[in-house]
Amino acid sequence: MIDFSDKTSIYQWLILIIFVLSSYVFGFALSIVSGELVEKYLLWRSGYPSKVRFGVPQKTFIECLFDDKYRNLVYMIFFVIFLFPVLIFDFIFGKLLGIEEKYFKHYRNPNELIIVKEQIYQILRKLTDDPENFVNSNSNFFKYIYHYTYENRSQHSKKMQNYVALYGFSRTMTLITSLFFVINVFSIAINKFGMTFININTIINSNLFIISSGLLSYIFFVGFAKYYRRYTDEVLMAAVAMSISTEPNPDTEEPNSQE
């Protein structure tokens, strides 16, 4: 209970409430920014996981950059400033060592791809007469599948939300650890040139911390891609299970009456 006669107790509770609200607002802001930067970079880098699964050709990073030249140039500047370690380690481990193949994957079994496509197209035929063209030309086709499965397949909803929470957490942590890296590198540069813009004593600026925060940012980035892919797979599998379960069973159909 709060003792309103004790000013110290009131101040402590006010500080606690302000701290909790500020943490919530700050965390929400980081989630929004990470959605605009980290997710945007991943989509430029690898495309939409649902389209990768379906084997739909994706734009390259350079094509995305020049798709809307001026606006996307601003995004690129933000990538370099706020996601610098992700860009570096993504090039080293992702591009040179081939880890990028683990971000989003094609179906290795052609028969599995055929089955999934057939069932997803069956659902999309409720919206369009040409589901294949709809998938190829519409970047938001997955949203229709997600909402359809969420509304009609409640037993899969909890697992979908778990993956959303996991990839959202990984995405935000990618931004946070990347900012740690950038701030520490910036503080060292400031200190080296004899400037006092940042109090160097308040920030851990060891080389070990810089390297570990950079590596962590990439690890969280890979985790974000992994859970984003698994979330996509969960939605697609739920849609396939739903589509199959609603198909008529020829063995149970009543025979036509004969005169």
DSSP states of 215-240:
HHHHHHHHHHHHHHHHHHHHHHHHHH
- Please state the domain extents for the chain: 22-246
Lowest mean pLDDT among 18-27, 120-129, 151-160, 218-227: 151-160
Q: Averaging pLDDT over each range in 109-113, 173-177, 186-190, 209-213, which range is the top one?
A: 173-177
Average pLDDT over the chain reads 82
pLDDT of amino acid 257: 37
Mean pLDDT within 152-179: 88
CA distances 29 to 34, 80, 86, 255, Å, are: 9, 20, 20, 62
> What confidence tens digit (pLDDT) does each residue in 35-59 have?
999 999 999 998 888 888 888 888 8
Using pLDDT thresholds of 50, 70 and 90, give the confidence band for residue 246.
low
> What confidence tens digit (pLDDT) does each residue in 185-201 have?
887 777 666 555 555 45
* C-beta of residue 226 within 8 angstroms of C-beta of residue 102: yes
